[in-house]
Amino acid sequence: MGQTCKTIQSRSKEHLRYLHLGQGEKSAMAEHVIDVGQYRNLTSPYRLNAATSYMDGTVKKAIEITIHPQF
């Protein structure tokens, strides 16, 4: 569970719903797929890295985005 206290599977379903409805403004992941056309396997999500605090998670997310800008 993350900042929203939802499971990763639950959040993935939300992103998929917004993607199928074309509502990219409600999900950054859906917006990215709509804008870029890149569709990874959103039905089997996994955690890249675990964070121990909000700031730790924010920094790790920024690093991952910098390392993998194509995703």
Which pLDDT tens digit goes with each residue over 8-34? 778 878 888 888 888 888 888 788 788
- Say what the pTM is: 0.53
The confidence score (pLDDT) of residue 70 equals 65
1 or 13, which is more confident?
13
Burial of 19 (0-12, 13-18, 19+ CB in 10 A): buried
Burial of 13 (0-12, 13-18, 19+ CB in 10 A): middle
Decide if 39 contacts 33 (C-beta within 8 A): yes
Which pLDDT tens digit goes with each residue over 42-63? 666 666 667 777 788 788 878 8
